[in-house]
A and B are shown apart, each in its own frame.
Chain A
Amino acid sequence: MTAFNYKADFPILQQRVHGKPLVFLDSGVTSQKPRCVLDALTQHYSTDYSNVHRGIYQLSERATAAFEATRKKVSQMINAAHPHEIIFTSGTTESINLMASCFGRAHFKAGDEVILSVMEHHSNIVPWQVLQEQMGIKIKVIPINDKGELDLVVYKKLFSPQTKLVSIIHVSNVLGTVNPLQEIIEIAHAHQVPVLVDGAQAFPRMRVDVRALDCDFYTFSAHKAYGPTGVGILYGKAHLLEAMPPYKTGGAMIETVSFEKTTFTKIPYKFEAGTPNIADVVAFSSALHYMENIGIDNITRHEQVLHDYAIEKLKSVNGLKILGNAKNRLGVISFVMDGVHPHDIGTILDREGIAVRAGHHCAMPLMTHFNIPACVRISFGIYNTKEDVDVLVSALTVVQEVFA
Protein backbone atom coordinates (compact mmCIF):
# COMPACT_ATOMS: atom_id res chain seq x y z
CA MET A 1 0.00 0.00 0.00
CA THR A 2 2.76 2.42 0.85
CA ALA A 3 4.18 1.70 -2.60
CA PHE A 4 1.66 4.18 -3.95
CA ASN A 5 2.87 7.74 -3.99
CA TYR A 6 0.05 10.04 -3.00
CA LYS A 7 2.34 13.04 -2.52
CA ALA A 8 2.04 13.79 -6.24
CA ASP A 9 -1.70 14.42 -5.80
CA PHE A 10 -0.97 17.41 -3.55
CA PRO A 11 0.35 20.52 -5.37
CA ILE A 12 1.50 22.28 -2.21
CA LEU A 13 3.84 19.42 -1.29
CA GLN A 14 5.96 19.87 -4.43
CA GLN A 15 7.81 22.88 -3.01
CA ARG A 16 11.12 23.25 -1.21
CA VAL A 17 11.55 25.01 2.13
CA HIS A 18 14.95 26.50 3.02
CA GLY A 19 16.33 24.59 0.04
CA LYS A 20 15.04 21.23 1.24
CA PRO A 21 11.96 19.28 0.11
CA LEU A 22 8.95 20.13 2.25
CA VAL A 23 8.13 17.31 4.65
CA PHE A 24 4.72 18.05 6.13
CA LEU A 25 4.27 16.29 9.45
CA ASP A 26 1.47 18.41 10.89
CA SER A 27 -1.68 16.89 9.39
CA GLY A 28 -3.03 16.72 12.93
CA VAL A 29 -3.49 20.46 12.85
CA THR A 30 -4.75 20.51 9.28
CA SER A 31 -4.37 18.37 6.19
CA GLN A 32 -3.16 19.45 2.76
CA LYS A 33 -5.59 19.29 -0.17
CA PRO A 34 -5.44 17.04 -3.25
CA ARG A 35 -5.81 18.68 -6.64
CA CYS A 36 -9.33 17.28 -7.07
CA VAL A 37 -10.52 19.34 -4.09
CA LEU A 38 -8.88 22.50 -5.41
CA ASP A 39 -10.43 21.87 -8.81
CA ALA A 40 -13.86 21.22 -7.27
CA LEU A 41 -13.71 24.59 -5.54
CA THR A 42 -12.87 26.47 -8.71
CA GLN A 43 -15.28 24.38 -10.73
CA HIS A 44 -18.15 25.16 -8.38
CA TYR A 45 -17.55 28.89 -8.39
CA SER A 46 -17.17 28.78 -12.18
CA THR A 47 -20.27 26.82 -13.11
CA ASP A 48 -22.84 26.16 -10.38
CA TYR A 49 -22.36 28.68 -7.60
CA SER A 50 -25.42 30.40 -6.25
CA ASN A 51 -27.16 30.59 -2.92
CA VAL A 52 -28.73 27.35 -1.75
CA HIS A 53 -32.25 26.33 -0.71
CA ARG A 54 -33.66 29.65 -1.85
CA GLY A 55 -33.61 30.19 -5.58
CA ILE A 56 -36.02 28.98 -8.21
CA TYR A 57 -33.54 29.22 -11.01
CA GLN A 58 -31.21 26.65 -12.56
CA LEU A 59 -27.96 27.71 -10.89
CA SER A 60 -29.55 27.59 -7.47
CA GLU A 61 -30.92 24.11 -8.10
CA ARG A 62 -27.51 22.83 -9.14
CA ALA A 63 -25.78 24.50 -6.18
CA THR A 64 -28.35 23.11 -3.79
CA ALA A 65 -28.01 19.62 -5.26
CA ALA A 66 -24.20 19.75 -4.92
CA PHE A 67 -24.47 21.04 -1.37
CA GLU A 68 -26.96 18.39 -0.30
CA ALA A 69 -24.91 15.71 -2.06
CA THR A 70 -22.14 16.35 0.48
CA ARG A 71 -24.58 15.96 3.32
CA LYS A 72 -25.74 12.67 1.88
CA LYS A 73 -22.15 11.52 1.33
CA VAL A 74 -21.16 12.29 4.93
CA SER A 75 -24.26 10.57 6.21
CA GLN A 76 -23.43 7.50 4.15
CA MET A 77 -19.79 7.42 5.19
CA ILE A 78 -20.46 7.52 8.91
CA ASN A 79 -23.56 5.31 8.56
CA ALA A 80 -26.01 7.81 10.00
CA ALA A 81 -29.66 6.78 9.78
CA HIS A 82 -30.58 9.79 7.68
CA PRO A 83 -28.91 12.83 6.06
CA HIS A 84 -30.97 15.18 8.20
CA GLU A 85 -28.90 14.01 11.16
CA ILE A 86 -25.88 15.75 9.59
CA ILE A 87 -25.46 19.42 10.44
CA PHE A 88 -22.88 21.64 8.78
CA THR A 89 -21.00 23.95 11.12
CA SER A 90 -17.75 25.88 10.69
CA GLY A 91 -15.70 23.16 12.36
CA THR A 92 -15.41 20.85 15.34
CA THR A 93 -14.99 23.82 17.64
CA GLU A 94 -18.26 25.37 16.53
CA SER A 95 -19.98 21.98 16.76
CA ILE A 96 -19.02 21.60 20.40
CA ASN A 97 -19.99 25.20 21.15
CA LEU A 98 -23.33 24.45 19.51
CA MET A 99 -23.73 21.42 21.77
CA ALA A 100 -22.85 23.36 24.90
CA SER A 101 -25.28 26.10 24.01
CA CYS A 102 -28.16 24.11 22.54
CA PHE A 103 -27.97 20.74 24.29
CA GLY A 104 -26.93 22.68 27.37
CA ARG A 105 -30.06 24.84 27.38
CA ALA A 106 -32.33 21.89 26.62
CA HIS A 107 -31.05 19.53 29.26
CA PHE A 108 -28.85 21.15 31.88
CA LYS A 109 -29.73 23.11 34.98
CA ALA A 110 -27.62 24.31 37.90
CA GLY A 111 -25.88 21.41 39.61
CA ASP A 112 -26.06 19.10 36.59
CA GLU A 113 -22.86 17.44 35.47
CA VAL A 114 -20.88 16.85 32.31
CA ILE A 115 -18.08 14.27 32.16
CA LEU A 116 -14.95 15.21 30.19
CA SER A 117 -11.45 13.75 30.28
CA VAL A 118 -8.03 15.19 31.09
CA MET A 119 -6.94 14.58 27.50
CA GLU A 120 -9.57 16.83 25.91
CA HIS A 121 -8.81 19.58 23.42
CA HIS A 122 -9.61 23.08 24.67
CA SER A 123 -12.62 23.16 22.33
CA ASN A 124 -14.12 20.38 24.46
CA ILE A 125 -13.28 22.06 27.76
CA VAL A 126 -13.87 25.79 27.47
CA PRO A 127 -17.48 25.72 26.16
CA TRP A 128 -18.43 23.61 29.20
CA GLN A 129 -16.61 26.03 31.50
CA VAL A 130 -18.68 28.81 30.03
CA LEU A 131 -21.79 26.78 30.85
CA GLN A 132 -20.34 26.26 34.32
CA GLU A 133 -20.14 30.00 34.80
CA GLN A 134 -23.43 30.86 33.13
CA MET A 135 -25.56 28.05 34.48
CA GLY A 136 -23.73 26.54 37.43
CA ILE A 137 -23.13 23.10 35.91
CA LYS A 138 -20.32 20.90 37.22
CA ILE A 139 -17.48 19.38 35.24
CA LYS A 140 -16.11 15.97 36.16
CA VAL A 141 -12.85 14.76 34.64
CA ILE A 142 -11.80 11.22 33.71
CA PRO A 143 -8.11 10.79 34.60
CA ILE A 144 -5.53 8.85 32.57
CA ASN A 145 -3.00 6.23 33.60
CA ASP A 146 0.72 6.63 32.93
CA LYS A 147 0.29 5.00 29.52
CA GLY A 148 -2.06 7.79 28.48
CA GLU A 149 -5.16 5.61 28.57
CA LEU A 150 -8.44 6.63 30.19
CA ASP A 151 -9.02 5.20 33.64
CA LEU A 152 -12.35 3.48 33.12
CA VAL A 153 -12.58 2.36 36.74
CA VAL A 154 -12.72 5.99 37.85
CA TYR A 155 -14.95 6.85 34.88
CA LYS A 156 -17.64 4.47 36.08
CA LYS A 157 -17.61 6.15 39.48
CA LEU A 158 -18.08 9.64 38.05
CA PHE A 159 -21.73 9.08 37.20
CA SER A 160 -24.47 10.50 39.39
CA PRO A 161 -28.18 11.24 38.98
CA GLN A 162 -27.05 14.73 37.86
CA THR A 163 -24.90 13.53 34.95
CA LYS A 164 -26.42 14.77 31.71
CA LEU A 165 -23.70 14.22 29.10
CA VAL A 166 -20.34 12.57 28.48
CA SER A 167 -18.19 14.51 26.02
CA ILE A 168 -15.09 12.65 24.95
CA ILE A 169 -12.32 12.70 22.36
CA HIS A 170 -12.12 9.68 20.03
CA VAL A 171 -8.40 9.85 19.21
CA SER A 172 -6.19 12.08 21.38
CA ASN A 173 -4.55 14.96 19.52
CA VAL A 174 -1.50 14.74 21.80
CA LEU A 175 -1.14 11.11 22.82
CA GLY A 176 -2.61 9.36 19.78
CA THR A 177 -4.58 7.19 22.20
CA VAL A 178 -7.62 5.62 20.54
CA ASN A 179 -10.25 5.62 23.27
CA PRO A 180 -12.49 2.55 23.76
CA LEU A 181 -15.64 4.29 22.63
CA GLN A 182 -17.87 1.24 22.56
CA GLU A 183 -17.23 0.60 26.24
CA ILE A 184 -17.44 4.28 27.21
CA ILE A 185 -20.77 4.66 25.43
CA GLU A 186 -22.21 1.45 26.89
CA ILE A 187 -21.38 2.61 30.39
CA ALA A 188 -22.93 6.02 29.79
CA HIS A 189 -26.07 4.54 28.26
CA ALA A 190 -26.45 2.24 31.25
CA HIS A 191 -26.91 5.49 33.20
CA GLN A 192 -29.20 6.95 30.50
CA VAL A 193 -26.54 9.51 29.69
CA PRO A 194 -25.87 10.48 26.05
CA VAL A 195 -22.36 10.77 24.60
CA LEU A 196 -20.81 13.43 22.36
CA VAL A 197 -17.64 12.32 20.57
CA ASP A 198 -14.94 14.66 19.26
CA GLY A 199 -13.76 12.80 16.16
CA ALA A 200 -11.50 15.50 14.68
CA GLN A 201 -8.38 13.30 14.71
CA ALA A 202 -10.28 10.06 14.12
CA PHE A 203 -12.41 10.66 11.03
CA PRO A 204 -9.48 11.36 8.65
CA ARG A 205 -7.76 8.13 9.67
CA MET A 206 -10.32 5.43 10.32
CA ARG A 207 -13.78 4.17 9.56
CA VAL A 208 -16.41 5.82 11.74
CA ASP A 209 -19.76 4.06 12.09
CA VAL A 210 -21.97 6.11 14.37
CA ARG A 211 -24.68 3.46 14.59
CA ALA A 212 -22.23 0.67 15.42
CA LEU A 213 -20.76 2.93 18.12
CA ASP A 214 -24.26 4.06 19.07
CA CYS A 215 -22.84 7.47 19.99
CA ASP A 216 -25.46 10.18 20.32
CA PHE A 217 -23.40 12.95 18.74
CA TYR A 218 -20.21 12.88 16.67
CA THR A 219 -18.23 15.80 15.33
CA PHE A 220 -15.25 16.38 13.02
CA SER A 221 -13.75 18.98 10.65
CA ALA A 222 -13.41 18.88 6.86
CA HIS A 223 -10.06 20.65 6.83
CA LYS A 224 -8.39 17.80 8.72
CA ALA A 225 -9.84 15.32 6.19
CA TYR A 226 -8.33 16.70 2.99
CA GLY A 227 -11.20 19.16 2.63
CA PRO A 228 -11.44 22.95 2.77
CA THR A 229 -11.41 25.04 5.93
CA GLY A 230 -14.58 26.45 7.45
CA VAL A 231 -16.63 23.24 7.31
CA GLY A 232 -17.48 21.05 10.26
CA ILE A 233 -19.88 18.19 10.74
CA LEU A 234 -22.08 17.60 13.75
CA TYR A 235 -23.94 14.30 13.65
CA GLY A 236 -26.74 13.82 16.15
CA LYS A 237 -29.51 11.28 16.57
CA ALA A 238 -32.62 12.91 15.08
CA HIS A 239 -34.78 12.87 18.21
CA LEU A 240 -31.98 14.49 20.23
CA LEU A 241 -31.38 17.25 17.68
CA GLU A 242 -35.10 17.88 17.45
CA ALA A 243 -35.25 18.45 21.20
CA MET A 244 -32.52 21.13 21.08
CA PRO A 245 -33.21 24.83 20.48
CA PRO A 246 -30.90 26.59 17.98
CA TYR A 247 -28.39 29.24 19.10
CA LYS A 248 -27.64 30.79 15.73
CA THR A 249 -30.83 32.16 14.28
CA GLY A 250 -32.05 34.27 11.38
CA GLY A 251 -32.60 33.33 7.76
CA ALA A 252 -32.90 29.81 6.36
CA MET A 253 -33.81 28.20 9.68
CA ILE A 254 -37.34 29.54 10.06
CA GLU A 255 -40.78 28.44 8.97
CA THR A 256 -42.58 31.74 9.49
CA VAL A 257 -41.53 35.04 11.03
CA SER A 258 -43.72 37.74 12.42
CA PHE A 259 -43.17 40.16 15.23
CA GLU A 260 -45.77 38.26 17.22
CA LYS A 261 -44.30 34.80 16.77
CA THR A 262 -41.55 33.03 14.87
CA THR A 263 -41.32 29.30 14.30
CA PHE A 264 -38.22 27.29 13.41
CA THR A 265 -37.86 24.77 10.64
CA LYS A 266 -36.92 21.14 10.96
CA ILE A 267 -33.43 19.60 11.27
CA PRO A 268 -30.87 19.97 9.86
CA TYR A 269 -31.72 23.48 8.66
CA LYS A 270 -32.82 24.55 12.14
CA PHE A 271 -29.12 24.67 13.00
CA GLU A 272 -27.90 26.18 9.72
CA ALA A 273 -28.89 29.83 9.86
CA GLY A 274 -27.63 32.23 7.24
CA THR A 275 -25.77 31.53 4.04
CA PRO A 276 -23.66 28.43 4.60
CA ASN A 277 -20.08 27.89 3.46
CA ILE A 278 -21.45 26.64 0.14
CA ALA A 279 -18.46 26.10 -2.14
CA ASP A 280 -16.36 24.61 0.64
CA VAL A 281 -19.11 22.15 1.56
CA VAL A 282 -19.42 21.18 -2.11
CA ALA A 283 -15.65 20.75 -2.49
CA PHE A 284 -15.57 18.60 0.64
CA SER A 285 -17.40 15.93 -1.38
CA SER A 286 -14.32 15.58 -3.55
CA ALA A 287 -12.16 15.03 -0.48
CA LEU A 288 -14.53 12.33 0.73
CA HIS A 289 -14.51 10.64 -2.68
CA TYR A 290 -10.71 10.88 -2.70
CA MET A 291 -10.57 9.11 0.64
CA GLU A 292 -13.05 6.45 -0.46
CA ASN A 293 -11.20 5.79 -3.69
CA ILE A 294 -8.08 5.00 -1.72
CA GLY A 295 -10.24 3.01 0.71
CA ILE A 296 -10.74 3.99 4.35
CA ASP A 297 -9.28 0.72 5.57
CA ASN A 298 -6.26 1.30 3.33
CA ILE A 299 -5.86 4.77 4.82
CA THR A 300 -5.94 3.30 8.32
CA ARG A 301 -3.40 0.68 7.33
CA HIS A 302 -1.13 3.30 5.77
CA GLU A 303 -1.34 5.47 8.89
CA GLN A 304 -0.78 2.55 11.26
CA VAL A 305 2.31 1.38 9.36
CA LEU A 306 3.82 4.87 9.43
CA HIS A 307 2.83 5.40 13.04
CA ASP A 308 4.44 2.18 14.24
CA TYR A 309 7.55 2.81 12.11
CA ALA A 310 7.93 6.31 13.52
CA ILE A 311 7.56 5.12 17.12
CA GLU A 312 10.25 2.51 16.55
CA LYS A 313 12.64 5.03 14.96
CA LEU A 314 12.00 7.75 17.53
CA LYS A 315 12.65 5.34 20.38
CA SER A 316 16.19 4.96 19.04
CA VAL A 317 16.94 8.69 19.39
CA ASN A 318 18.96 9.42 22.53
CA GLY A 319 17.28 11.58 25.09
CA LEU A 320 13.92 11.52 23.29
CA LYS A 321 10.80 10.59 25.24
CA ILE A 322 7.48 9.82 23.58
CA LEU A 323 4.38 10.94 25.46
CA GLY A 324 2.02 8.12 26.28
CA ASN A 325 2.18 4.56 25.02
CA ALA A 326 -1.38 3.36 24.84
CA LYS A 327 -2.01 -0.13 23.56
CA ASN A 328 -4.22 1.35 20.82
CA ARG A 329 -2.73 4.40 19.23
CA LEU A 330 -2.94 6.16 15.89
CA GLY A 331 -2.53 9.64 14.46
CA VAL A 332 -0.21 11.97 16.35
CA ILE A 333 3.03 11.23 18.16
CA SER A 334 4.21 13.78 20.73
CA PHE A 335 7.64 13.84 22.28
CA VAL A 336 10.14 15.85 24.30
CA MET A 337 13.93 15.84 24.15
CA ASP A 338 16.38 16.23 27.04
CA GLY A 339 17.85 19.67 27.27
CA VAL A 340 16.06 21.11 24.21
CA HIS A 341 12.82 23.06 24.31
CA PRO A 342 10.16 22.00 21.78
CA HIS A 343 10.23 25.44 20.26
CA ASP A 344 13.90 25.14 19.47
CA ILE A 345 13.38 21.65 18.04
CA GLY A 346 10.60 23.00 15.83
CA THR A 347 12.76 25.86 14.49
CA ILE A 348 15.68 23.57 13.66
CA LEU A 349 13.41 21.02 11.98
CA ASP A 350 11.87 23.83 9.95
CA ARG A 351 15.31 24.70 8.63
CA GLU A 352 15.53 21.09 7.43
CA GLY A 353 12.24 21.54 5.54
CA ILE A 354 10.22 19.64 8.12
CA ALA A 355 6.94 21.03 9.45
CA VAL A 356 6.01 19.87 12.93
CA ARG A 357 4.00 21.44 15.72
CA ALA A 358 5.51 22.63 18.98
CA GLY A 359 3.48 23.96 21.88
CA HIS A 360 0.68 22.85 24.13
CA HIS A 361 -1.55 21.65 21.27
CA CYS A 362 -4.65 23.20 22.83
CA ALA A 363 -4.38 20.68 25.64
CA MET A 364 -2.95 22.60 28.57
CA PRO A 365 -4.50 20.34 31.25
CA LEU A 366 -2.74 17.40 29.61
CA MET A 367 0.57 19.31 29.55
CA THR A 368 0.12 20.03 33.24
CA HIS A 369 -0.56 16.33 33.86
CA PHE A 370 2.79 15.47 32.26
CA ASN A 371 4.44 18.43 33.99
CA ILE A 372 5.74 19.92 30.76
CA PRO A 373 5.12 23.37 29.24
CA ALA A 374 5.06 22.06 25.70
CA CYS A 375 6.06 19.20 23.42
CA VAL A 376 6.78 18.51 19.75
CA ARG A 377 4.08 16.74 17.78
CA ILE A 378 4.24 14.92 14.46
CA SER A 379 1.28 13.50 12.59
CA PHE A 380 0.71 11.80 9.27
CA GLY A 381 -1.51 12.11 6.26
CA ILE A 382 -1.98 9.92 3.21
CA TYR A 383 0.90 11.80 1.51
CA ASN A 384 3.53 10.82 4.06
CA THR A 385 6.02 8.00 3.61
CA LYS A 386 8.61 6.10 5.59
CA GLU A 387 11.22 8.33 3.93
CA ASP A 388 9.60 11.31 5.66
CA VAL A 389 10.15 9.59 8.99
CA ASP A 390 13.79 8.90 8.08
CA VAL A 391 14.31 12.57 7.19
CA LEU A 392 12.79 13.57 10.53
CA VAL A 393 15.01 11.25 12.55
CA SER A 394 18.08 12.43 10.67
CA ALA A 395 17.12 16.06 11.39
CA LEU A 396 16.76 15.27 15.07
CA THR A 397 20.46 14.47 15.11
CA VAL A 398 21.06 18.04 13.81
CA VAL A 399 19.07 19.25 16.82
CA GLN A 400 21.32 17.25 19.09
CA GLU A 401 24.44 18.63 17.39
CA VAL A 402 23.32 22.23 17.85
CA PHE A 403 22.59 21.65 21.50
CA ALA A 404 25.50 19.34 22.21
Chain B
Amino acid sequence: MLRELYHETIIDHGRNPRHFGVLPEANHIKEGFNPLCGDKIKLFVDEHNGVIRAVAFDGSGCAISMASASLMAEHLKGKTLKEAQAIFDLFHLLIMKGELTVAQQTQLGKLRVLSGVCEFPARVKCATLAWHTLNALLLKDQSTVSTE
Protein backbone atom coordinates (compact mmCIF):
# COMPACT_ATOMS: atom_id res chain seq x y z
CA MET B 1 0.00 0.00 0.00
CA LEU B 2 2.87 2.30 0.79
CA ARG B 3 4.39 1.42 -2.58
CA GLU B 4 1.08 2.40 -4.16
CA LEU B 5 1.12 5.80 -2.51
CA TYR B 6 4.80 6.32 -3.18
CA HIS B 7 4.69 4.98 -6.70
CA GLU B 8 7.92 5.45 -8.66
CA THR B 9 6.26 8.12 -10.76
CA ILE B 10 5.26 10.09 -7.69
CA ILE B 11 8.73 9.95 -6.21
CA ASP B 12 10.10 11.05 -9.56
CA HIS B 13 7.67 13.93 -10.01
CA GLY B 14 8.02 14.91 -6.36
CA ARG B 15 11.78 15.11 -6.65
CA ASN B 16 11.93 16.61 -10.15
CA PRO B 17 8.63 18.35 -10.69
CA ARG B 18 7.82 19.18 -14.30
CA HIS B 19 6.71 22.70 -15.26
CA PHE B 20 8.31 24.02 -12.09
CA GLY B 21 9.04 27.70 -11.88
CA VAL B 22 7.51 31.03 -12.77
CA LEU B 23 5.57 31.32 -16.04
CA PRO B 24 6.18 34.86 -17.31
CA GLU B 25 3.36 34.73 -19.86
CA ALA B 26 0.77 33.61 -17.28
CA ASN B 27 -2.40 35.65 -17.19
CA HIS B 28 -3.78 33.85 -14.10
CA ILE B 29 -1.85 33.49 -10.86
CA LYS B 30 -3.02 32.07 -7.54
CA GLU B 31 -1.49 30.86 -4.30
CA GLY B 32 -2.55 27.86 -2.26
CA PHE B 33 -1.38 26.90 1.22
CA ASN B 34 -1.90 24.17 3.79
CA PRO B 35 -0.94 25.78 7.10
CA LEU B 36 -1.12 22.58 9.12
CA CYS B 37 1.53 20.77 7.08
CA GLY B 38 3.35 23.56 5.27
CA ASP B 39 2.60 22.69 1.64
CA LYS B 40 2.80 25.91 -0.39
CA ILE B 41 2.03 26.40 -4.05
CA LYS B 42 1.87 29.31 -6.51
CA LEU B 43 0.08 28.39 -9.68
CA PHE B 44 0.65 30.11 -13.05
CA VAL B 45 -1.76 29.54 -15.92
CA ASP B 46 -1.45 30.87 -19.46
CA GLU B 47 -4.98 30.73 -20.78
CA HIS B 48 -6.27 32.05 -24.09
CA ASN B 49 -9.80 31.82 -25.47
CA GLY B 50 -10.77 29.13 -22.98
CA VAL B 51 -7.75 26.94 -23.74
CA ILE B 52 -4.95 26.28 -21.25
CA ARG B 53 -1.77 26.89 -23.18
CA ALA B 54 0.55 26.20 -20.26
CA VAL B 55 0.56 25.58 -16.50
CA ALA B 56 3.51 26.02 -14.17
CA PHE B 57 3.92 26.15 -10.43
CA ASP B 58 6.32 27.27 -7.79
CA GLY B 59 6.40 26.21 -4.14
CA SER B 60 7.49 23.64 -1.65
CA GLY B 61 5.83 20.74 0.04
CA CYS B 62 5.63 17.01 0.50
CA ALA B 63 6.20 14.54 -2.31
CA ILE B 64 2.45 14.04 -2.79
CA SER B 65 1.62 17.73 -3.15
CA MET B 66 4.51 18.45 -5.51
CA ALA B 67 3.95 15.33 -7.62
CA SER B 68 0.24 16.10 -7.87
CA ALA B 69 0.95 19.64 -9.05
CA SER B 70 3.54 18.39 -11.52
CA LEU B 71 1.27 15.73 -12.99
CA MET B 72 -1.58 18.22 -13.15
CA ALA B 73 0.55 20.75 -15.03
CA GLU B 74 1.58 18.07 -17.52
CA HIS B 75 -1.93 16.78 -18.02
CA LEU B 76 -3.74 20.09 -18.47
CA LYS B 77 -1.53 21.57 -21.16
CA GLY B 78 -3.71 22.11 -24.22
CA LYS B 79 -6.98 21.28 -22.49
CA THR B 80 -10.01 23.56 -22.56
CA LEU B 81 -11.31 25.06 -19.31
CA LYS B 82 -14.34 22.78 -19.59
CA GLU B 83 -12.13 19.70 -19.96
CA ALA B 84 -10.03 20.86 -17.01
CA GLN B 85 -13.13 21.12 -14.82
CA ALA B 86 -14.21 17.60 -15.81
CA ILE B 87 -10.77 16.23 -15.02
CA PHE B 88 -10.81 18.03 -11.65
CA ASP B 89 -14.07 16.31 -10.73
CA LEU B 90 -12.77 12.94 -11.87
CA PHE B 91 -9.49 13.36 -10.03
CA HIS B 92 -11.37 14.16 -6.86
CA LEU B 93 -13.37 10.97 -7.26
CA LEU B 94 -10.17 9.01 -7.80
CA ILE B 95 -8.43 10.05 -4.63
CA MET B 96 -11.52 9.97 -2.46
CA LYS B 97 -12.85 6.63 -3.66
CA GLY B 98 -10.14 5.04 -5.77
CA GLU B 99 -12.64 3.24 -8.00
CA LEU B 100 -13.22 4.45 -11.50
CA THR B 101 -14.54 2.95 -14.73
CA VAL B 102 -12.06 2.05 -17.42
CA ALA B 103 -13.20 5.03 -19.47
CA GLN B 104 -12.69 7.38 -16.51
CA GLN B 105 -9.27 5.91 -15.84
CA THR B 106 -8.26 6.48 -19.45
CA GLN B 107 -9.37 10.09 -19.19
CA LEU B 108 -7.08 10.63 -16.24
CA GLY B 109 -4.01 9.10 -17.85
CA LYS B 110 -0.90 9.38 -15.71
CA LEU B 111 -2.90 11.04 -12.90
CA ARG B 112 -4.02 7.51 -12.03
CA VAL B 113 -0.78 6.96 -10.11
CA LEU B 114 -2.26 9.05 -7.30
CA SER B 115 -5.09 6.57 -6.73
CA GLY B 116 -3.21 5.24 -3.68
CA VAL B 117 -4.05 8.44 -1.79
CA CYS B 118 -7.56 7.17 -1.08
CA GLU B 119 -6.03 4.77 1.48
CA PHE B 120 -4.33 7.67 3.24
CA PRO B 121 -7.10 10.14 4.17
CA ALA B 122 -4.64 12.44 5.94
CA ARG B 123 -2.85 13.02 2.63
CA VAL B 124 -5.91 13.86 0.50
CA LYS B 125 -5.37 17.54 1.16
CA CYS B 126 -1.79 17.25 -0.11
CA ALA B 127 -2.92 15.67 -3.35
CA THR B 128 -5.70 18.17 -3.95
CA LEU B 129 -3.93 21.43 -3.08
CA ALA B 130 -2.82 22.14 -6.66
CA TRP B 131 -6.24 21.20 -8.02
CA HIS B 132 -8.19 23.34 -5.58
CA THR B 133 -5.87 26.21 -6.35
CA LEU B 134 -6.52 25.73 -10.05
CA ASN B 135 -10.24 25.48 -9.47
CA ALA B 136 -10.29 28.71 -7.50
CA LEU B 137 -8.15 30.36 -10.16
CA LEU B 138 -10.45 29.44 -12.99
CA LEU B 139 -13.51 30.41 -10.98
CA LYS B 140 -11.76 33.65 -10.00
CA ASP B 141 -12.16 32.95 -6.26
CA GLN B 142 -10.46 35.75 -4.32
CA SER B 143 -10.29 33.97 -0.97
CA THR B 144 -7.14 32.13 0.17
CA VAL B 145 -7.04 28.60 -1.13
CA SER B 146 -6.43 25.88 1.40
CA THR B 147 -7.45 22.25 1.44
CA GLU B 148 -7.28 22.13 5.27
A residues with CB within 8 A of B: 339-344, 347-348, 351, 358-360, 367, 373-374, 402-403
Point out the residues of chain A lying under 8 angstroms from B35, CB to CB.
360
Is B64 touching A344 in the complex (CB atoms < 8 A)? yes
User: Does any Cβ of A come within 8 Å of B69's Cβ?
Assistant: no
Stretch at the interface among B71-79, B88-96, B119-127: B119-127
Is B61 touching A351 in the complex (CB atoms < 8 A)? no
A373 to B62, alpha carbons, bound, how many Å? Answer: 10
A–B pairs, 11, beta carbons within 8 Å: A341-B63, A342-B37, A342-B38, A343-B126, A344-B6, A344-B62, A347-B123, A360-B36, A374-B38, A402-B11, A403-B11
User: Does any Cβ of A come within 8 Å of B1's Cβ?
Assistant: yes
Q: Taking CB as reference atom, which chain A residue is nearest B61?
A: A341
Nearest CB of chain B from residue A334's CB, rounded to whole Å: 13
Is B2 touching A348 in the complex (CB atoms < 8 A)? yes
- Contacts A341-B62, A358-B37, A359-B38 supplied; 5 other A-B pairs, CB < 8 Å: A343-B38, A343-B39, A344-B62, A347-B122, A351-B2
> Which of A339, A340, A402 makes the CB contact (< 8 A) with B2?
A402
Nearest CB of chain B from residue A228's CB, rounded to whole Å: 25
Point out the residues of chain A lying under 8 angstroms from B61, CB to CB.
341, 343, 373
Is B38 touching A347 in the complex (CB atoms < 8 A)? no
Is A373 touching B122 in the complex (CB atoms < 8 A)? no
If the complex has contacts A341-B62, A343-B126, A344-B62, are A402 and B38 also in contact, measured as CB distance less than 8 A?
no
Nearest CB of chain A from residue B36's CB, rounded to whole Å: 6
Interface string of B21-42 (1 = CB under 8 A from A): 0000000000000011111100
The 6 A-B pairs with the shortest beta carbon distances in the complex, nearest first, are A373-B38, A343-B62, A341-B62, A374-B38, A344-B63, A351-B2
Point out the residues of chain B lying under 8 angstroms from A339, CB to CB.
15
If the complex has contacts A373-B60, A402-B11, are A343 and B37 also in contact, measured as CB distance less than 8 A?
yes
Is B60 touching A347 in the complex (CB atoms < 8 A)? no
Describe B's contact surface by its main secondary structure. mixed
A374 to B35, alpha carbons, bound, how many Å? Answer: 10
Q: Taking CB as reference atom, which chain B residue is nearest A367?
A: B38
User: Does any Cβ of A come within 8 Å of B5's Cβ?
Assistant: yes
Point out the residues of chain A lying under 8 angstroms from B6, CB to CB.
344, 348, 402-403
Q: Taking CB as reference atom, which chain A residue is nearest B11?
A: A403
Point out the residues of chain A lying under 8 angstroms from B126, CB to CB.
343
Q: Taking CB as reference atom, which chain B residue is nearest A359?
A: B37
Is A343 touching B2 in the complex (CB atoms < 8 A)? no
A367 to B36, alpha carbons, bound, how many Å? Answer: 13
A402 to B14, alpha carbons, bound, how many Å? Answer: 12
Point out the residues of chain B lying under 8 angstroms from A403, CB to CB.
6, 11, 15, 63
Q: Taking CB as reference atom, which chain B residue is nearest A364?
A: B35
A359 to B1, alpha carbons, bound, how many Å? Answer: 23
Point out the residues of chain B lying under 8 angstroms from A341, CB to CB.
61-63
A348 to B62, alpha carbons, bound, how many Å? Answer: 12
A342 to B62, alpha carbons, bound, how many Å? Answer: 7
A341 to B39, alpha carbons, bound, how many Å? Answer: 10
Point out the residues of chain A lying under 8 angstroms from B3, CB to CB.
402
Interface residues of B in 78-92 (CB under 8 A from A): none
Point out the residues of chain A lying under 8 angstroms from B123, CB to CB.
343, 347
> Which of A347, A358, A359, A373 makes the CB contact (< 8 A) with B120?
A347
Interface string of B103-140 (1 = CB under 8 A from A): 00000000000000000101100100000000000000
Point out the residues of chain A lying under 8 angstroms from B37, CB to CB.
342-343, 358-359, 374
A359 to B5, alpha carbons, bound, how many Å? Answer: 20
Is B38 touching A351 in the complex (CB atoms < 8 A)? no
A52 to B18, alpha carbons, bound, how many Å? Answer: 64
Point out the residues of chain B lying under 8 angstroms from A348, CB to CB.
2, 6
Nearest CB of chain A from residue B127's CB, rounded to whole Å: 11
Nearest CB of chain A from residue B7's CB, rounded to whole Å: 10
Is A340 touching B63 in the complex (CB atoms < 8 A)? yes
Q: Taking CB as reference atom, which chain B residue is nearest A373?
A: B38
Q: Taking CB as reference atom, which chain A residue is nearest B63?
A: A344
Q: Taking CB as reference atom, which chain B residue is nearest A352?
A: B2
Point out the residues of chain A lying under 8 angstroms from B15, CB to CB.
339, 403
Point out the residues of chain B lying under 8 angstroms from A374, CB to CB.
37-38
A402 to B7, alpha carbons, bound, how many Å? Answer: 9
Point out the residues of chain B lying under 8 angstroms from A359, CB to CB.
36-38
A339 to B15, alpha carbons, bound, how many Å? Answer: 8
